[in-house]
Amino acid sequence: MTSVLKCFKTLITRKKNRVSTLPVMPPDTKKCNGAVPRVPPTSAPTEAIAGPPPATTTPATTAAPAPSHVPLPVCNGTHLPQPHPTPNKRSIHDYYFGKTLGEGSFSTVWLVRDIHTKKDYALKQCDKAHILRERKTESIKREKQVLNILSETGAPFCVKLYCTFQDPEKLFFVITYAKNGELLAHINRNKRLSVDCARFYAAELVVALEHLRRVNVIHRDLKPENILLDENMHVLVTDFGCAKIVHRPQSGTDSDDESARSRRNSFVGTAQYISPELLTDKNASFSSDLWALGCIIYQMLTGQPPFQSRSEYLIFQKIQKLEYEFPDNFDPTAEDLIRKLLVLNPTERLGASDEEGYPSIRSHPFFTNTPWNSLASTPPPTLFSDPTHRPAHNDNWVTSDMKPGLDNSQLSRILGLDQGQAPVEPPAPRPQAPPQQAVARRKKSYVQDLTEAEIQRRLALQKAENKW
């Protein structure tokens, strides 16, 4: 037993010697006075921390973490930067939920009000299970990336992304609330827009497309449904789920042309507004959005898109053959602009060869006297030909008994299911059917449900009515 204990002590002694002789990494040339306090992990955006690791002058030993009140370490007379603390995370309980603004295949858009700022927003709620099932993960990530780019660069006439958050089942995007809805609804309500209205909104779309091109974004699904009007009736381009980033601005140019091409080559969009190059080589470009601009101007002035048919296939055939026509008394300058935008070759469309912005479109006679530098502050032309067409808005939709969030009780409130059971009205008396219809209805009864006397009566009735 004594020999075993001696062997055990010898092994422990050797192990301690090996630990004490471990090589020590040489310290960085920059030395910091004081220990660097440990910082807990954070979910805030990662920032570069320039401080070097603490110098090691003694064998490795276990040290207790520095307390939170330790002053910042000093490196060459300056304090090292620390990561920002974790920001307060948002949730659905930070918002009152109002009406539904729109629904998609895997998302619902709600009108919400921030309980802190009392401002209204549009909250897009996306179902995670549906996104995974339909393989829409990249589309959602791309939409968030594009919205971040547009918000950071102050994109004119585009919706802004204010924040995003999630729960175990849903993703949430808080974006600009467009109080006056879709442009398409106003076109349909007025049958068509005046030339002045069409000119003004087309000019705002041109400015929006100029910025998208400047930040290397192709929308690829520009249409009246994706053009909203804010509280001052100015344009807000939305729905960037189909958008593509040609290349990141900081990279200068694409290092791999084939890679850039593969990012653009995919078939998306809506049939009536798809450019012909997407139907052939599927190579989207900024010129694809100019084609959609021509279709939208045509629809604003006529009430209908230029290419229509019974099926998408026939619509595509008309697009490839450029089969469309202008109605009588169509504005000649607008017709000339549309013809120069709806060109089969994307490189020959008006504005396609412009290096910066779209000056060739701005200088077209259709936009004569357009206040390009003050569009955002210029009141739009009157859109409502009939005062009864103006939609009514209720800015006081949040009541004192409302609670933030979107649980079952709030859903019941929104759907009108919490107003108590409606009184049950007695059913209206059914009109008496003619005798022949009553007999035909009785014949639908099953034979096994009839008495023997009833069966004999019906057989006699059939025999009397059968002339054969």
Start-to-end CA distance of the chain, whole Å, equals 119
Is 124 annotated as a binding-site member?
Answer: yes
Q: At what angle do helices 195-214 and 332-341 cross, to 10 degrees?
A: 30
Which residues are registered as beta bridge partners of 97? 112
Rounded (10°) angle between helices 286-302 and 183-190: 30
Length of the chain in terms of residues written: 468
Tokens at 432, concatenated: 């008496």
- Is 449 a catalytic site residue? no
Residues 412 and 213: their CA atoms lie apart, in Å, by: 44
Choosing from 221, 254, 257, 386, the catalytic residue is 221
CA–CA distance, 255 with 10 (Å, rounded to integer): 62
CA distance 305 to 73: 66
Q: Catalytic amino acids?
A: 221
Residues making up the binding site for ATP: 124
